[in-house]
Amino acid sequence: MEVHAHTHTPRKKWTHYFWEFLMLFLAVFAGFLAENQREHYVEHRREKKYIVSMVEDLKNDSIFLQLNINKLIPYHLGWLDSTIHLFQMPDFKGKDRMIYQAFMIGTGWAYNFYPTERTLSQLHSTGFHLIRNQNVTKTISRLEVQYKIFNLQTRTFSEAMQNDIDLSAWSFADKAVTDQIAIKAFQNFSDSSTVQLQLPDIPESATIRFQDKEGIKSYIEKLKKYSFYLQYVTKLGQVTLLREIGKAINILKKEYHLK
């Protein structure tokens, strides 16, 4: 009977298994840290991308407000003053076409502020949680509140005033003629950021019904009220918004080291 020899493998010490477990644990943990770091890096890049986009939007809003404040509002206020002056002349007969030109340019513009919401809408839908800087979050939220307050205080009232002025004009002006002139103004608009009407653009059929003196008087008072509101509410409100937007841009640039 043949006897087989058995090979005996020495038993490993518990420390061997401990080190194997430790190395495996460290490998898994290192992978976890690497993945976490990668996600952190990606989120940080997305966060900064949102902020860069937000700064661009705010700059666009600043350009719009500067255009309103420095060009559009003063330009149309000048024509409002011209309309009032023409109507208050001792004898404004024969100046029909000049009056049409003045009141249509003076009242033919709206100054509502519609902030650029490209980035804001994205932040509200998916990305606001990425903004870890609480100072920046508060800055953006505060600016949004200021937008809403300004529009709530000005938009409805100014649109009501503009509509009232337009309707009041029919007491002395011909609606069909004003519609014709408005089409011409719209055609000229493509070459300018303001309503442009030259005196030759006003047809000979543009005549004023001077007999409605009370209607003209009421219209003048409405123009004065609108001019005051435009100068001391709309314009000053937009100046305030422009200043706050400038502050927000500086904060975002500083916190994210943007040029």
pLDDT in tens, 115-151: 999 998 888 887 777 788 889 999 999 999 999 999 8
Which has more confidence, 41 or 107? 107
Pick from 8-17, 122-131, 166-175, 178-187 the range whose average pLDDT is largest.
Answer: 166-175
Q: Is residue 60 part of a domain?
A: yes
Q: Examine residue 4 and state whether it is found in any structural domain, yes or no.
A: no
In a domain, 237, yes or no: yes
Report pLDDT for 172. 93
Residue 1, in any domain of the structure: no
Domain that holds residue 230: 14-255
Exposure class string for 149-178: b at 16+ Cβ within 10 A, else e: ebbeebbeebeebbeebeebbeebbbeebb
Per-residue burial over 30-64, b if 16 or more Cβ lie within 10 Å, else e, is eeeeeeeeeeeeeeeeebeebbebbbebbeebbeb
What average pLDDT does the structure give for the chain? 85
d(CA 197, CA 97): 11
Domain assignment of residue 195, yes or no: yes
In this structure, what are the phi and psi dihedrals at residue 117, rounded to the nearest 5 degrees? -110, 15
The pTM is what?
A: 0.79
Token representation of residue 229 = 């509101």
Query: How many structural domains does the chain have?
Result: 1
* Residue 83 located in a structural domain: yes
Residue 91 lies in a domain: yes
Domain assignment present for 9: no
